[in-house]
């Protein structure tokens, strides 16, 4: 008998399993709902990296594509850290070509686009990086934090290419998209906005004050008082550098909110 978690019925707990390729299991009977999408009927077990669940066929395909990238991610970022950027990019291409037939929801395409953008920024190959970061954006973003990450990279690239005004516009557009789950990650973008505004000799738009105050709150500090909003934001980034932001549920408790954002 195998315990597959508290969400399963007594019947589900009677599933017998067989290891295939050290990862996937065959089953004699199946539970009802896919662990991953929570919608479709589960048709196969999925056991990998601390997950021991049952999933539908669509999600199994999706997870197989995901694992193809993540199983080699350490190798890729190690190559990147050694300055072997072209080798890292080549690995990404190989993974994509070998698994694109599994990538129905484009998770793999988007993730590889993200890593390509990041690697080229890291390599300071800014012209290629701009193309890569824009290609990532063209695939769309599943969550706001990824939109912000892309904007951060693209703004760094545009600034390095001597186009700070475009960089600022990219950041401000991205900050127009919000999700309280990822609020602490706005800190970096706000700092970039402040620095670019200073570089351009202009004031940070006052509309970002409220966001900066909300970010400060997640880090359990007040927004520092500065001569300008840019000064306050830069100081905020400095004083919170080593602080861990409140988890979403802690923050919701502090704010007296019960439900999801």
Partner 1 sequence: MDELRGTIAPGHYTLDASVKVDQNGHVVEVESTGQPNPEVGICMRIALRGMRLPEDVFERGPLRMSAAADGQTLPDRGQIGEVVTVVVVTIVFTEVIIEAFAIAVGVTVTATVAAGAAKRAKREGMCMPLLHECLGNKKHPNPDFGPEKDCGACFRHCKNEGYWPEDKCPRP
Q: Which residue shows structure tokens 């350490």?
A: 74
How far is Cα 235 from Cα 256, in angstroms, rounded to an integer? 28
Binding mask 51-90 for partner 1 (x = CB under 8 A): x-x---------x--x--xx--xx--xx--x---------
Q: Which stretch binds partner 1 (CB under 8 A): 22-30, 127-135, 182-190, 209-217?
A: 182-190
Given a contact cutoff of 8 angstroms between Cβ atoms, the answer to whether 64 and 45 are in contact is: no
Mask 114-133, x = binds partner 1 (CB under 8 A)? xx--x---x-x---------
Q: Which residues are bridge partners to 18 per DSSP?
A: 26
What's the min distance (Å) between Cβ of 124 and partner 1?
Answer: 8
Residue 177 CB, shortest distance to partner 1, in Å, is 16
Kindly state the smallest distance separating residue 152's Cβ from partner 1, in Å: 6
Residues in the chain: 261
Q: Which two tokens stand for residue 72?
A: 């080699």
Q: Which two tokens stand for residue 15?
A: 């599933």
Binds partner 1 (CB under 8 A): choice among 35, 130, 167, 174: 35
Looking at residues 206 to 235 of the shown chain, list those that interact with partner 1 (rule: CB under 8 A).
none
Q: Residues 6 or more apart from 82 whose CB is under 8 A from it?
A: none
Strands (DSSP E) contained in the chain are 17-20, 24-27, 44-48, 51-55
142-181 mask for partner 1 (x: CB under 8 A)?
Answer: ---xx--x--xx-----xx--------------------x
């Amino acid at each position: 008998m195998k315990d597959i978690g508290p969400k399963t019925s007594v019947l589900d707990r009677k599933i017998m399993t067989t290891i295939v390729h050290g990862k996937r299991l065959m089953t004699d009977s199946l539970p009802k709902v896919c662990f991953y999408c929570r919608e479709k009927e589960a048709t196969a077990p999925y056991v990998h990296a601390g997950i021991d669940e049952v999933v539908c066929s669509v999600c199994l395909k999706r997870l197989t594509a995901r694992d193809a990238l993540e199983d080699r991610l350490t190798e890729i970022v190690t190559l990147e850290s050694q300055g072997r950027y072209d080798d890292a990019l080549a690995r990404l291409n190989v993974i994509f070509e070998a698994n694109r037939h599994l990538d129905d929801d484009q998770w793999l395409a988007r993730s590889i686009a993200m890593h390509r953008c990041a690697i080229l920024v890291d390599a300071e190959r800014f012209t290629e990086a701009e193309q890569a970061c824009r290609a990532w954006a063209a695939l769309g973003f599943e969550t706001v934090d990824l939109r912000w990450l892309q904007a951060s990279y693209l703004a760094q690239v545009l600034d390095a290419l001597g186009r700070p005004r475009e960089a600022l516009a990219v950041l401000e557009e991205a900050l127009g998209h919000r999700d309280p789950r990822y609020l602490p990650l706005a800190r970096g973008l706000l700092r970039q906005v402040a620095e670019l505004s200073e570089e351009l000799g202009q004031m940070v738009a006052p509309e970002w004050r409220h966001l900066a105050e909300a970010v400060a709150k997640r880090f359990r500090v007040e927004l520092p008082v500065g001569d300008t909003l840019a000064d306050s934001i830069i100081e905020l980034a400095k004083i919170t550098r080593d602080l861990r932001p409140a988890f979403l549920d802690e923050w919701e408790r502090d704010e007296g909110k019960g439900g999801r954002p």
